[in-house]
């Protein structure tokens, strides 16, 4: 039996060959752009094609594997859960919209946790704030441990995603997240909000660095930006400013 990851790879290859159809309408792959260019420039028809090729069952498998249908387990009260279509209710239209990130809701901490598991080698780490307790003299009393789910994706897939996401910042829609002297990866997003036609958006950018050995991840979300509303234009610069301060502190800048 073929693995879900091989099915995904085949779906990706298929998406990069040419147009596909949704309700009889051909989906152009963003003009004549091909392969990596389509991803780094956030070409939604590519993601739709991948989703349709995967099918509902395989797509839902990844939602479950990444833990997106459950809460993250962060050590703070009041965490919200994911709002997602039931698998039996998902048809071609729902699968298409979910594939490029609309018609479902996850929390920012869930998004950051899932992205981390994709780029860190495939380990889903429970997000947490508390590391240990100490007495007033600094003597450690207790060190906390948190669940880790391993092999969410393979090391090979994780390395490929780091490369692709670095190109988003180097040459694609995330150029405003570029930090001189550092290797940064990331992904832009621009979501429409209800009611449709209201002209309201959510702009975001998720970045990580160094791209070849991630040590820090940041997510900026801007609700209802005024004027320019694309994530790469309004959210990516915020993450860039954060990294310009964080990376020198971590000694992760290369000025040569």
CA dihedral 197, 109, 248, 179 (to 10 degrees): -30
Rg (CA), the chain: 19
What pLDDT score does 21 carry?
40
Domain boundaries, the chain: 155-256
The per-residue pLDDT for range 76-90, each reduced to its tens digit, is 999 999 999 999 999
CB atoms closer than 10 angstroms to residue 186: 32
Q: Angle at the Cα of 121 (from 9 to 14), degrees rounded to 5?
A: 10
Q: Angle at the Cα of 213 (from 8 to 117), degrees rounded to 5?
A: 40
Average pLDDT for 133-140: 94
Please give the Cα distance from 80 to 72 (Å, whole number).
9
> Length of the chain in residues, anyone?
256
CA separation (Å) from 211 to 40, 125, 170, 215?
15, 18, 11, 9
Between 72 and 7, the more confident residue is: 72
Q: Angle at the Cα of 66 (from 102 to 3), degrees rounded to 5?
A: 105
**Which CATH architecture is the domain 155-256 placed in?**
3-Layer(aba) Sandwich (3.40)
Question: 3-state DSSP call for residue 88?
Answer: helix
* Least confident among 98-102, 176-180, 183-187, 235-239: 98-102
What pLDDT score does 100 carry?
87
Is the Cβ–Cβ distance between 226 and 164 less than 8 Å?
Answer: no
Please give the Cα distance from 131 to 123 (Å, whole number).
19
What pLDDT score does 148 carry?
93
> Pairing relation of β-strands 140-143 and 216-223?
unpaired
Q: Is the pLDDT of residue 97 over 80?
A: yes
E-strand stretches of the chain: 20-22, 25-27, 124-125, 132-134, 140-143, 148-149, 185-192, 201-209, 216-223
Q: What residue spans of 41-79 are helical by DSSP H?
A: 44-65
CA separation (Å) from 220 to 113, 187, 247?
14, 11, 17
What pLDDT score does 250 carry?
92
The per-residue pLDDT for range 148-191, each reduced to its tens digit, is 999 888 899 899 899 989 999 998 899 999 999 999 999 999 98
Please give the Cα distance from 186 to 27 (Å, whole number).
25
What pLDDT score does 37 carry?
55
Please give the Cα distance from 218 to 243 (Å, whole number).
8
């Amino acid at each position: 039996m073929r693995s879900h990851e091989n099915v995904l790879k085949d779906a990706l290859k298929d998406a990069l060959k040419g147009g596909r159809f949704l309700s009889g309408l051909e989906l152009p792959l963003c003009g004549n752009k091909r392969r990596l260019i389509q991803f780094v420039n956030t070409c939604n028809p590519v993601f739709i094609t991948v989703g349709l090729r995967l099918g509902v069952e395989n797509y839902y498998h990844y939602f479950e594997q990444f833990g997106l249908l459950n809460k993250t387990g962060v050590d703070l009260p009041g965490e919200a859960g994911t709002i997602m279509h039931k698998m039996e209710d998902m048809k071609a239209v729902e699968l298409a919209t979910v594939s490029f990130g609309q018609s479902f809701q996850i929390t920012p901490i869930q998004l950051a946790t899932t992205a981390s598991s994709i780029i860190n080698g495939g380990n889903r780490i429970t997000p947490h704030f508390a590391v240990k307790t100490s007495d007033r003299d600094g003597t450690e009393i207790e060190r906390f441990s948190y669940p880790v789910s391993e092999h969410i994706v393979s090391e090979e897939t994780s390395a490929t995603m780091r490369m692709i996401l670095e190109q988003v910042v180097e040459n694609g829609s995330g150029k405003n997240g570029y930090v001189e002297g550092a290797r940064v990866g990331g992904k832009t997003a621009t979501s429409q909000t209800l009611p449709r036609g209201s002209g309201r958006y959510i702009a975001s950018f998720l970045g990580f660095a160094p791209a070849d050995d991630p040590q820090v991840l940041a997510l900026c979300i801007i609700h209802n930006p005024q004027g320019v509303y694309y994530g790469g234009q309004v959210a990516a610069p915020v993450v860039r400013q954060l990294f310009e301060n964080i990376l020198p502190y971590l000694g992760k800048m290369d000025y040569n």
